[in-house]
Amino acid sequence: MDNKNVNITPNLIKHFADYLRLELSLSDNSVEAYCHDVGLFLQYIEYQNLSSEIKEINQQTIENFFAYLYDLNIGATSQARILSGLKSFWRYLTQEEITETDPTVLISSPTLGRHLPEVLSYEEIQKMIDSIDLSQPNGHRNKAMIEVMYGCGLRVSELIGLQISDIYKSDGFLRIFGKGSKERLVPIGDSSLKILFQYIEGARVHITPKPKFTDIVFLNSRGTSLTRQMVFLIVKDLAEKNGITKTISPHTFRHSFATHLLEGGANLLAVQQMLGHASVSTTEIYTHISDELLRDTLTSYHPRFKNN
């Protein structure tokens, strides 16, 4: 094969399956699982409108793929299995001299889901919110969603599961049920609360919820709750509309929430509680993001560093 123009295709995955079966003598179940994992990656790059040309795929592409899986609540065990499948695929590609580089080589299972995620600036978030067309049927809903995701640091699962009865309007708090159904109270600012109720008392009134979804805040046109994938699409569309080239997802607003709080001097334990992290060590990843931003600022603007 000409390694300059080889793309990941179903046919290449079929050749990979033959290699697993004939060269490595793997069982049919293992072959099917590995090929399924490579197929997932192919779906991802097609979904993101990325190049499937092997020479264009680098370590960042792989890391972004696992960030996407993480945002879809794919567990660490499943992520590790998928990584194993991708590593086997690139071993096959290098052995067959289809490529000389392996973008998976520096990615290890213990770090999955703990990469430094992309963070949006406050200006980028405000630009996205301001660009939402409120004359469209879902305009007020989408604006309220972004406001609540960023303003309260919610996981996408917490956002789509939020109930009207869990909004304590007069107290300025939301009752959130996080991982393992752990309950926490999260403050919500006056402006976010105002936008949220503009949707609840406005556009949402014109949707007839299905019986099981009468208390759910964010509804689709059929009267049921949104899916994680739908929220992802809404966020992706807003980013593209505003020329934001960062690889973002609904979880990016949660990362940005935490990073902006810590940059502003917020107490780490308070941020941990608002995020619903069981351990403060999980929250500490955001202090690394803040350190990185400070270092970039120093390098860019301090006269002692500019020309180094």
State pLDDT tens for residues 126-153.
999 999 999 988 999 999 999 999 999 9
Tell which wins on pLDDT, 269 or 298.
269
Give the closest residue to 178 by CA, choosing from 206, 199, 197, 159. 159
Paired tokens of 108: 């290890």
Give the closest residue to 157 by CA, choosing from 137, 180, 138, 139. 180
Domains, the chain, ordered by start: 10-111 (1.10.150.130), 122-301 (1.10.443.10)
Q: Are 173 and 185 in contact (CB under 8 A)?
A: yes
Give yes or no for residue 181 having a pLDDT over 80. no
Paired tokens of 78: 């499943």
Strand-by-strand arrangement of the 173-177 sheet: 167-168, 173-177, 183-187
Q: What is the reported pTM?
A: 0.59
What pLDDT does residue 2 have? 42
Q: In whole angstroms, what is the distance from residue 167 CA to residue 195 CA?
A: 13
Choice among 9-13, 131-135, 303-307 with the minimum mean pLDDT: 303-307
Q: Which residues are catalytic?
A: 155, 179, 251, 254, 277, 286
Give yes or no for residue 7 having a pLDDT over 80. yes
C-alpha torsion sign, points 134, 135, 141, 145:
negative
Strands 167-168 and 183-187, how do they pair? unpaired
